[in-house]
Amino acid sequence: MYRTNTCGELNISHLNSTITLSGWVQKVRNKGSMIWIDIRDRYGITQLVFEEGKTDANVFETAKNLGREFVIQISGTVIERFSKNDKISTGDIEVFVTKLNVLNISETPPFTIEDESDGGDELRMKYRYLDLRRNPVKNNLLLRHKIAQEARKYLDNINFIEVETPYLIKSTPEGARDFVVPSRMHKGEFYALPQSPQTFKQLLMISGFDRYFQIVKCFRDEDLRADRQPEFTQIDCEMAFVEQKDILETFEGMAKHLFSKVLNYNLPNFLVMSYSEAMEKYGNDKPDLRFSMEITDLTSIVKGNNFVVFDSAEYIGGICVKNSSEFTRKQLDELTKFVQKPQIAAKGLVYVKYGLDGTLKSSVDKFFDEPKLNQWATKFDAKSGDLLLILAGEKEKTLHALSALRLEMAKQLNLMNKDVFVPLWVVDFPLLEWNEEANRFQAMHHPFTSPKIEDFHLLDTEPKKVRANAYDMVINGVEIGGGSIRIHDKEMQATMFKHLGFTKEEAENQFGFLMNAFKFGAPPHGGIALGFDRLTAMFAKTDSIRDVIAFPKNNAGKDVMIDSPSQIALDQLVELGLQINKKE
């Protein structure tokens, strides 16, 4: 038996017990005649003590030669510490060691196994198994475990059934790029890895499973941005015989359950906001509501003052930044540079300072006198001491820029408190969006999303105006999940495919099984998928999903620890009927 207790377990109630522990050497303090060693395992740290003369001479000698990360097993007696450590649960005791067994030695690790490591990102990824020993990373994975268990408990409790859907499925060009898997038994043919179990969960509803969930890996072969992974995890759910409000209630309940059980946090009721309201007020379909700073539309009150920038603009709007009228010229110049960045692309920034002395000073004083500015201030509901920041241009782009500016100001003013969570549902998304590249409409959510019945008649004439029964769960400006009420009618699905530019043959070839299934009594149904990595990152209060994934890939899609992807043997290729041809 390797241990009687874990390294996080012993306390004053164990005084004088004889115990055995196993773990890693965290720290050695050798004071000559006295040696203290911290032994560590997943559960905690316990202090060991060795004293020359009192401790067995062989044991003392072995202790002297222990290094960091050696794996040891010790037996000894629990004694009271002279100077206690109230920061750890075992801080009242130490163990006087009588037996010491070195289970494995360790080379000096390439970086320190501490909360703040001296290892760079690259190095820590190569030795991820050592990085995982560090508390911050370890705790993230423990948190992830807890969220998964609680999510399942919540869903199991209300009759959701966990069903495993297949990983070797069929490639469908709609949406992101698939990872494909060549078939050896059927040379020249391929499976695809699922981007999500979408069609399978719909089939399960048609099968009558009523309520389905799965915590499941999904795959997208996309060019990776900082916070994307080629494989990621979803909490994937679907319900039959439901309307949108049933789904919102169920998953608002789940979010509250998770925050309560895992973080002991009382999540407030979700606000419900339409997509168009979110865009008007925040320039963004995932507004961060930890702070207000709503966008105010000035278009109707600022035109006709010979300021050509405003007069020629489709839209003029701004935000009111509280208590920031003392921003310096330099700060304002930097904000101007910020909004002029290519990814934001505003032309310039107009500001109005509502001074603490009650005066209004702006960067457009030439065109607008104080009564005019006062009118603006009223529109913004601004108070003395506030700063108004105003942008103008094409409406959609200006709202986008105002959203970026709003978030930047919140960051500068420390309004994004990671310990506060403000959730909402964004609903009534547009059904379609224009794809510039493909020169056609594509589904904003996916081709199985149902349009709002009352908008359906606009599909031919004003397709952009058709709203979908689609919704996103947004917390603190992060899209945690999204879903929709699905189409369950064969004719409507065929119409949708037509509008998305599928020929009848393409629709049949890719989704024939689903269209076919609709013939045999498909119930009304809908669902949602939550990004489990993203949700866990939010719980862990980190910005990167890589911090909550045990073995993530880097931005080039590489696992640098195992060195993958890599070349395979020629006979593997031959068996698959494939040849490598890097030239196009």
Which one-letter DSSP state was computed for residue 325?
T
Of the pair 113, 387, the CB lying nearest its own copies is at: 113
Pairing state between β 161-162 and 423-427: unpaired
Question: Residues with Cβ < 8 Å from 18, sequence gap 6 or more?
Answer: 75, 76, 77
CB 45 within 8 A of CB 90: yes
Q: Which of 55, 195, 233, 324 binds its own copies (CB under 8 A)?
A: 233
Q: How far is the CB of 521 from its own copies (least distance, A)?
A: 4
CB 472 within 8 A of CB 426: yes
Q: How far is the CB of 139 from its own copies (least distance, A)?
A: 11
- Of 181-200, binders to its own copies (CB under 8 A) are 181-193, 199-200
Q: How far is the CB of 421 from its own copies (least distance, A)?
A: 24
DSSP for 111-129, written as a single string: S--SSS-S--HHHHHHTHH
- Of 501-530, binders to its own copies (CB under 8 A) are 512-513, 517-524
178 near its own copies (CB under 8 A): yes
Helices 135-157 and 244-263 sit at what angle, rounded to 10 degrees?
Answer: 140
- Of 26-55, binders to its own copies (CB under 8 A) are 40-43
- Of 236-255, binders to its own copies (CB under 8 A) are 241-243, 246
Query: What number of chain residues touch its own copies (CB under 8 A)?
Result: 125
Q: Looking at 327-477, which runs of residues are DSSP E strands?
A: 350-354, 360-362, 387-393, 423-427, 432-435, 440-443, 470-475
109 near its own copies (CB under 8 A): yes
Of the pair 233, 476, the CB lying nearest its own copies is at: 233
Q: How many whole angstroms separate alpha carbon 363 and alpha carbon 365?
A: 6
CB 364 within 8 A of CB 332: no
DSSP for 169-200, written as a single string: B----SSSPPPEEE-SSSTT-EEE--S-SHHH
3 state SS of 425: strand
Helices 532-539 and 244-263 sit at what angle, rounded to 10 degrees?
Answer: 40
Q: How many whole angstroms separate alpha carbon 458 and alpha carbon 269?
A: 34
8 near its own copies (CB under 8 A): no
Q: Which of 34, 168, 271, 420 binds its own copies (CB under 8 A)?
A: 168
Q: Which of 30, 260, 331, 564 binds its own copies (CB under 8 A)?
A: 564
Of the pair 239, 278, the CB lying nearest its own copies is at: 239
Q: How far is the CB of 580 from its own copies (least distance, A)?
A: 5
Tokens 């000894």 label which residue?
Answer: 76
- Of 134-153, binders to its own copies (CB under 8 A) are 138, 141-142, 144-145, 148-149, 152
Q: Which of 17, 98, 207, 375 binds its own copies (CB under 8 A)?
A: 207
225 near its own copies (CB under 8 A): no
Q: How far is the CB of 144 from its own copies (least distance, A)?
A: 8
Of the pair 86, 107, the CB lying nearest its own copies is at: 107
- Of 436-495, binders to its own copies (CB under 8 A) are 488-489
**Closest listed residue to residue 283, CA positions, set 399, 145, 450:** 399
Which one-letter DSSP state was computed for residue 439?
T
Q: How far is the CB of 150 from its own copies (least distance, A)?
A: 10
3 state SS of 141: helix
Whether the bond between 565 and the residue before it is cis, its omega within 30 degrees of 0, is yes
Q: Which of 62, 79, 174, 179 binds its own copies (CB under 8 A)?
A: 179
**Closest listed residue to residue 362, CA positions, set 386, 337, 393:** 386
Of the pair 348, 512, the CB lying nearest its own copies is at: 512
Q: How far is the CB of 488 from its own copies (least distance, A)?
A: 6
Largest Cα–Cα separation, the chain: 94
Of the candidate spans 177-185, 313-321, 333-341, 349-357, the one that interacts with its own copies by CB under 8 A turns out to be 177-185
Q: How far is the CB of 58 from its own copies (least distance, A)?
A: 22
3 state SS of 290: coil
Which one-letter DSSP state was computed for residue 486?
B
Of the candidate spans 117-125, 169-177, 381-389, 441-449, the one that interacts with its own copies by CB under 8 A turns out to be 169-177
Of the candidate spans 17-25, 317-325, 397-405, 496-504, the one that interacts with its own copies by CB under 8 A turns out to be 17-25
Contact pattern from residue 118 through residue 137 relative to its own copies, giving x for each residue in contact according to CB under 8 A and a dash for the rest = ---------xxxx-xx----
Q: Which of 79, 88, 180, 345 binds its own copies (CB under 8 A)?
A: 180
553 near its own copies (CB under 8 A): yes
Q: How far is the CB of 251 from its own copies (least distance, A)?
A: 17
Of the candidate spans 53-61, 86-94, 206-214, 288-296, the one that interacts with its own copies by CB under 8 A turns out to be 206-214
Of the pair 156, 462, the CB lying nearest its own copies is at: 156
CB 245: neighbour CB atoms within 10 A?
A: 12
- Of 565-584, binders to its own copies (CB under 8 A) are 565-569, 572, 574-582, 584
Q: How far is the CB of 292 from its own copies (least distance, A)?
A: 35
Of the candidate spans 75-83, 418-426, 495-503, 559-567, the one that interacts with its own copies by CB under 8 A turns out to be 559-567
- Of 531-550, binders to its own copies (CB under 8 A) are 549-550
DSSP for 33-64, written as a single string: SEEEEEEEETTEEEEEEEETTTS-HHHHHHHH
Of the pair 73, 77, the CB lying nearest its own copies is at: 73
CB under 8 A, 24+ apart: contacts of 31-35: 35/60, 35/63, 35/64
